[in-house]
Structure 1
Amino acid sequence: MRAAALYSAAGALLLSSLSLAPAGNAGAAPRTDERHGTAVAAARAKAAGIAFRRCPKEQGLPGNVQCGTVSVPLDYSRPYGKQIRLLVSRATATHKDPHNSKRRVPGQGALVYNPGGPGASGVQFPLIGVIPAWKRLAAAYDLVGYAPRGVGPSAPLSCQDPKHIAKGPSLAPTFPSEAYKKERVERAKAYARGCAERAGSALQYYNSLNNARDLDVLRAALREEKLTFMGASYGTYFGALYAHLFPQHVRRMVFDSAVNPDPKQIWYHSNLAQSAAFEGRWTDFRDWVAKHDDVYGLGVTADEVLASYEKVRARLAARPAGGKIGPGQLQEAFLQAGYYDDYWPSRAQALSAYLKGDAKPLVELASPVTEAAAEEENTNAVYTAVECNDAPWPTDWAVWDRDNTRLARVAPFETWDNAWMNLPCAFWQAPRQKAVDVRTGPGELPPTLILAAERDAATPYEGALEMHRRLAGSVLVTERDAGTHGIAYGPNACVNGHVDAYLLEGRLPGRRAACEGHPEPKPTAADKRRHKTAAARRP
């Protein structure tokens, strides 16, 4: 937590010394304390700024969004060693009041956003300013997104050839056989080996602490004395690390769908808790489908809806739909309904149509996006590297087998699928870190805002309570009896009002506030959007 003071006191000295720094690689450069290394990098970034210009064509961004890069050390203990470049995007504040065209809105600097992951890119974030709910923020703030280290154009990480990513059909047994478990263990070992071989010694530097340090370098490059930040899902975790490391550099922070920062939870137990919570959300979905049996005909109780789902699983195992939709693809499509309840109608309609002989809606929803294979591989690689590097994991397969076998008895929907996603961490070949005990004391950190839905499965509600306990002066806003993952500027006007008041005026409610849950979706099949399967399991 000393980096802020070090930077402010020694900034000029650090700047004057940069021209004398050796230009060698990370291994050859001299070592220093990471706090000092962050201060060096921040001073350098502040001096250089960011040269914003037209964005790379492959990003598909319009002319009002500009891009640039910021250099950060691969290893903060060697700030003069190897540098990597992070792609940054920005839409400058419009200064136009959406409710009063004659009023010019004063600027409040940059609002930096991270969508989570690990492995998700925020480069597209500035586009959100055209959405009505975001226009007030877009008037006051420069909307800034970026691709974190390892993601997309920012020193991309890879663990396997994208052409080897399973394109379907695949299995997803709820209670896997010993033979299937053995196969998945071997696949996990091969994946961990591929990460080590492709990334080499650099692999260990893709972690949450470095993501937090990178965020401070980005703040300095934007020439912001204090950071205004909104993080969703995993973005709340390294946002909390930032608050812990650099509390003096915080202006305002929004933690949307907070990860549990307890070091005992990072990340093995966090994933077990997530799997348990998904069982409750899976029940919520089935209860909703049962209430609308007149529309879908899948059963009048949650158990009857489950029987319909299992019937589809069995048929797909015997004969994949469209030659590419097996139980694995079905699982991925319906897992998305655990994240976002506006996906419930399209999932229910697809299931209903399939049982009536029409597989097309299910094929449309669940087919792998082959043209996104490289992006999916990169997302998986960053997710795995960050989570495996952040903390110790059980290295004995027997522990994983015991814990997930027990959990699957009461939470079968997502347990084993989540275990396979994270199992490479059992065989990880890079050094592990000790998870940080995130805490801030009274008066150390400006007031921050935490948002949480009570029935969120991806980041269970207990995590928001723990974040609230650990960040002194924070305020928790709860969306009652709701489970959508990521609630800022969604359908709940009460939640949105609290976010607006905080980011635009610095006003917060009492230490805890509650909003009634948003209405359940109506039983239509209008929403046929899909999330990329690579991002489906992310916190």
Structure 2
Amino acid sequence: MKQTSRTRAAWIAVSAALLGLSAPLTTSVSASAAGPSARSSLDWTKCEGSGLDPRQECASVEVPMDYAEPGGRKIAIVISRIPSEKPAARRGALLLIPGGPGGSSLGDPSGKGQKLPQKVRNAYDLIGFAPRGLAPSTPVNCGLDHGDLALSKLRPWPAPDGSISENMATARRTAAACARNGGDLIRHITTVDEARDIDRVRAALGERRLSAWGVSYGTYVGAVYSQLFPRRTDRVVLDSNDNPDPTRVSRAWLEGYETGVEDVFPEFAKWASAPGNPDRLARTAAEVRPLFLRLAARLDRAPIPWPGANPAELNGNVLRQTMLDSLYTPDRFPTLAKLMLAARHGTVPPAPAAPPEPVLQNVTAVSAATLCNDVAWPTSAAEYRKGVAESRKEHPLTAGMPRNAMVCTAWPYPPTQAPVRITAHGPSNVLLVQNARDVATPLRGALKLRQAFGARAVMVIVDSTGHDAYLANGNACGDRVVSRFLATGERPGEDVRCG
């Protein structure tokens, strides 16, 4: 159950790299029904690891590896909690659903959970978990070659000339390694399995209903859980929302980067051209985009050696990957600017610190398994070549990556169940919060989830830039709406915009 701050950072970095939404306002659950009287069957012990709140404790929940054979092999789901800070005001449990796929929220009760207002921390036990396949839950590993763990390799960037031959070869090699080394568990890591695990966690906690705060991929998990177990949900907040298109699922998320980058890059350009910025790249915002494109093309032709990095050179795709990562939050804008400034002079900054390789291996395996087991991907190279060519022409910043072939192209296991279609059937207890400019889960896709939920949901659109809105990259107006809903159940009667 050990989780250091470095490990938590690795979960975030790698899962983000692999990818990464009116009736009565409250449900009928009363404080007494879901509150202090809830009986937990769990054996809580002190969590291992550094940087954790001393109140945080951990336990393990046993679940079936294969829900089609509930009496078969069992695996462990490790969970954490910080109990309600005011038992008399306790309403129930608030599950913190991580992003990814491949993210963990095991440390979140000690981390972002402590940013929640006091009334919310009084009302709920804060619950985190490591989803199936992620250590310290029963882990899975594909045993990939070190080079295939490079972030610029995990996202399918085409060759400088638009060729995808290397991407197809990487997909075959990676999928074969997962089949060879992933064991039986690799076939049973899906969003539906995670939703079913969550309901086992709810039952083990002794809760009749569960509140949740899901972020990024966690919004899709939360939506699927709300669809499969609608009467087991209390107050549900979905933050930075995935497109729930049941015909495409993760393919739609990958393609969303085209829109997301176009939404956010102008904000980077304004920042990077501002007078007084020590990392200023240009005199005007209009100059930044062509500067980036010229620099990426130059690095395609003449990479710069980068000792200690993976790969050990700064090429055009490494710059593009850095751009994508840096647009997740304005706080990362300087990372991209500093790299561009160095590259213009033919130099590189110190190589970024790499997460421990066992963490990279574990997170990559869980992410690949989820993306590929959820929905079948096309296997035809011709289809990807066509999509990449169109994407490169329409969206040169992302260079065709969002429509390219990744590991799922060669995944050896067909999906065992159809993706869940999100519908308006169920209690009206969902609040969506969404930044207007989000590189990973753009507003255009988030509106698809809002449409799918119908009268079950209300959406708060926040006029801010960055991935993760509530208590992160949003604004005070959006934060107030979400906090009020979690603490009191009060929800806007219709969709609102927070300027």
Give TM-score, length-normalised by structure 2.
0.83
Q: Tell me, in whole angstroms, the C-alpha distance in 2 between the residues paired with 1:133 and 1:296.
A: 33
1:75 aligned partner, one-letter code: D
Does residue 137 (structure 1) correspond to residue 109 (structure 2)? The answer is no
Instruction: Report if the CA contact (8 A) 1:340-1:485 is conserved.
Output: yes
Which of the residues 370, 392, 410 maps onto 1:386? 370
Match of 1:290 in 2: 273
Instruction: Report if the CA contact (8 A) 2:175-2:412 is conserved.
Output: yes
1:320 aligned partner, one-letter code: P
Which of the residues 316, 326, 329 maps onto 1:337? 326
Per-residue CA deviation, residues 119-170 of structure 1 (Å, 9 max, x unaligned), is 1011011113674554442232211100000112112121124645456998
Q: Tell me, in whole angstroms, the C-alpha distance in 2 between the residues paired with 1:138 and 1:118.
A: 26
Q: Which 5+ residue runs of structure 2 have no aligned equivalent?
A: 1-37
Match of 2:203 in 1: 220
Q: Tell me, in whole angstroms, the C-alpha distance in 1 between the residues paired with 2:40 and 2:113.
A: 30
Does residue 326 (structure 1) correspond to residue 326 (structure 2)? The answer is no
Q: Tell me, in whole angstroms, the C-alpha distance in 2 between the residues paired with 1:174 and 1:429.
A: 22
Alpha-carbon distance, 1:110 to partner: 1.3
Match of 2:85 in 1: 94
Q: Tell me, in whole angstroms, the C-alpha distance in 1 between the residues paired with 2:135 and 2:227.
A: 27
Instruction: Report if the CA contact (8 A) 1:169-1:326 is conserved.
Output: no
Match of 1:56 in 2: 48
Per-residue CA deviation, residues 158-207 of structure 1 (Å, 9 max, x unaligned), is 11246454569989997625796222211110101111112244322100
Distance 1:176 1:283, change over 3 A: farther
Distance 1:184 1:169, change over 3 A: closer
Instruction: Report if the CA contact (8 A) 2:245-2:252 is conserved.
Output: no
| Greater shift in the superposed pair: 499-508 or 157-166 | 157-166
Q: Tell me, in whole angstroms, the C-alpha distance in 1 between the residues paired with 2:332 and 2:187.
A: 37
Considering only CA atoms, is the larger Rg found in Structure 1 or Structure 2? 1
Alpha-carbon distance, 1:106 to partner: 1.1
Instruction: Report if the CA contact (8 A) 2:82-2:109 is conserved.
Output: yes
Does residue 262 (structure 1) correspond to residue 253 (structure 2)? The answer is no
Alpha-carbon distance, 1:308 to partner: 3.9
Q: Tell me, in whole angstroms, the C-alpha distance in 1 between the residues paired with 2:187 and 2:152.
A: 33
Instruction: Report if the CA contact (8 A) 1:175-1:408 is conserved.
Output: no
Q: Tell me, in whole angstroms, the C-alpha distance in 2 between the residues paired with 1:171 and 1:392.
A: 18
Query: Tell me, what secondary structure is at the counterpart of 1:476?
Result: strand
Per-residue CA deviation, residues 259-315 of structure 1 (Å, 9 max, x unaligned), is 111213312233213333223322331233123476444213345323443565435
Q: Tell me, in whole angstroms, the C-alpha distance in 1 between the residues paired with 2:136 and 2:113.
A: 25
Match of 2:133 in 1: 150
Per-residue CA deviation, residues 225-262 of structure 1 (Å, 9 max, x unaligned), is 00111100111111111111111111110010111112
1:334 aligned partner, one-letter code: M
Alpha-carbon distance, 1:88 to partner: 0.5
Alpha-carbon distance, 1:375 to partner: 1.1
Per-residue CA deviation, residues 4-58 of structure 1 (Å, 9 max, x unaligned), is xxxxxxxxxxxxxxxxxxxxxxxxxxxxxxxxxxxxxxxxxx997211101134x
Q: Tell me, in whole angstroms, the C-alpha distance in 2 between the residues paired with 1:204 and 1:47.
A: 33
Per-residue CA deviation, residues 67-122 of structure 1 (Å, 9 max, x unaligned), is 01001111111111111001101111222xxxxxxxx8611221110121001011
Higher-RCO chain (CA-CA 8 Å, sequence separation at least 6): 2
Q: Tell me, in whole angstroms, the C-alpha distance in 2 between the residues paired with 1:509 and 1:112.
A: 22
Match of 2:394 in 1: 410
2:341 aligned partner, one-letter code: S
Distance 1:124 1:203, change over 3 A: same
Q: Tell me, in whole angstroms, the C-alpha distance in 1 between the residues paired with 2:255 and 2:431.
A: 26
Match of 1:524 in 2: none
Q: Tell me, in whole angstroms, the C-alpha distance in 2 between the residues paired with 1:262 and 1:282.
A: 25
Q: Tell me, in whole angstroms, the C-alpha distance in 2 between the residues paired with 1:294 and 1:83.
A: 55
Distance 1:473 1:171, change over 3 A: closer
Query: Tell me, what secondary structure is at the counterpart of 1:243?
Result: helix
Match of 1:521 in 2: none
Distance 1:51 1:187, change over 3 A: same
Does residue 78 (structure 1) correspond to residue 78 (structure 2)? The answer is no
| Alignment coverage as a number of residue pairs | 453
Per-residue CA deviation, residues 424-467 of structure 1 (Å, 9 max, x unaligned), is 111111122322211132xx314210011122121121232222
Query: Tell me, what secondary structure is at the counterpart of 2:432?
Result: strand
What aligned pairs does 1:93-492 form with structure 2 within 5 A after superposition?
93-95=84-86, 106-128=89-111, 131-161=114-144, 163-166=146-149, 176=159, 181-292=164-275, 295-310=278-293, 312-313=295-296, 314=298, 317-322=302-307, 324=309, 325-327=313-315, 328-352=317-341, 355=344, 359-360=348-349, 363=350, 367-369=352-354, 371-418=355-402, 423-432=406-415, 433-441=417-425, 444-471=426-453, 472-480=455-463, 482-490=464-472, 492=475
Q: Tell me, in whole angstroms, the C-alpha distance in 1 between the residues paired with 2:154 and 2:361.
A: 19
2:46 aligned partner, one-letter code: R
Q: Tell me, in whole angstroms, the C-alpha distance in 2 between the residues paired with 1:225 and 1:390.
A: 28
| Greater shift in the superposed pair: 336-345 or 394-403 | 336-345
Query: Tell me, what secondary structure is at the counterpart of 2:257?
Result: helix
Q: Tell me, in whole angstroms, the C-alpha distance in 1 between the residues paired with 2:169 and 2:276.
A: 43
Distance 1:434 1:129, change over 3 A: closer
Query: Tell me, what secondary structure is at the counterpart of 1:253?
Result: strand
Query: Tell me, what secondary structure is at the counterpart of 2:100?
Result: coil
1:434 aligned partner, one-letter code: A
Instruction: Report if the CA contact (8 A) 2:157-2:167 is conserved.
Output: no
Distance 1:494 1:171, change over 3 A: closer
| Greater shift in the superposed pair: 342-351 or 461-470 | 342-351
Instruction: Report if the CA contact (8 A) 1:293-1:299 is conserved.
Output: no
Distance 1:237 1:352, change over 3 A: same
| Greater shift in the superposed pair: 168-177 or 114-123 | 168-177
Distance 1:437 1:284, change over 3 A: same
